[in-house]
């Protein structure tokens, strides 16, 4: 059964927040262990939480956790920085993804808008005189694209017979 999307907001109720915290910590520890075992990689999770005496650490062996951390620290700074993921990098990557998505939507909207202009001209609802000079280049591109599509369809239809 599919899970519903979790609302990522601060949980006001203290007991619910503590219960959610404990469940999420157990889930993170389990995922870390699975990743380590299934992929054969060194993985370490350190979680500092409220009302905890000390951090929750996986692997449970202190020696093993220290070994993984010291191995990581011995790597060159370039290697370490490639694998660090902080809030700043997370936000900048999220912003870039949203900007890319916005750019694609703007492009798609522009194509629909110019397609509508072509349709209006062909149906006699508007004339070329009513169109801005800045839109003429896009209009020409759409018309050329439609001509190429029609020529392709004609060629494919003739070859199929």
Q: Over the stretch 26-54, which tens digit does the pLDDT of each residue have?
A: 999 999 999 999 999 889 998 988 878 88
Percent of the chain's residues with pLDDT above 70: 95
Mean pLDDT value of segment 57-74: 88
3-class SS of residue 46: strand
Residue 137 pLDDT exceeds 90? no
Q: Which helix (H) or strand (E) holds 45?
A: strand 45-47
Q: How many CB atoms lie within 10 A of CB 114?
A: 20
Structure tokens at 125: 């609802």
Measured between alpha carbons, how far is 135 from 130 in angstroms, rounded to an integer? Answer: 10
Contact 35, 48 (CB under 8 A): no
Contact 55, 48 (CB under 8 A): yes
* pTM for the model: 0.48
Annotate 122-131 with b (16+ C-beta within 10 A) or e (fewer): eeeeeeeeeb
pLDDT band at 133 (very low <50, low <70, confident <90, very high): confident
Q: Is residue 68 packed enough to be buried (19+ CB in 10 Å), middle (13-18) or exposed (0-12)?
A: middle
> Which of the two residues, 47 and 135, has the higher pLDDT score?
47
Residue 129 pLDDT exceeds 80? no
Q: Tell me which fold the domain 14-84 belongs to.
A: SRF-like (3.40.1810)
**What is the pLDDT at residue 103?**
95
Torsion on CA atoms 82, 85, 87, 93, rounded to nearest 10: 60
């Amino acid at each position: 059964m599919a899970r519903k999307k979790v609302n990522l907001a601060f949980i006001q109720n203290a007991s619910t927040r503590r219960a959610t915290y404990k469940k999420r910590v157990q889930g993170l520890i389990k995922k870390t262990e699975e990743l380590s075992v299934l992929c054969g990689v060194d993985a370490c999770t350190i979680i500092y939480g409220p009302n905890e005496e000390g951090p929750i650490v996986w692997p449970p062996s202190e020696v093993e956790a220290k070994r993984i951390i010291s191995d990581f620290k011995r790597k060159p700074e370039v290697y370490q920085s490639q694998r660090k993921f902080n809030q700043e990098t997370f936000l900048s990557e999220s912003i870039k993804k949203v900007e890319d998505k916005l750019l694609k939507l703007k492009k798609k909207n522009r194509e629909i808008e110019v397609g509508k202009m072509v349709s209006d001209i062909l149906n006699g609802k508007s004339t070329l005189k009513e169109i801005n000079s800045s839109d003429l280049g896009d209009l020409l591109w759409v018309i050329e694209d439609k001509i190429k599509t029609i020529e392709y369809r004609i060629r494919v239809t003739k070859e199929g017979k």
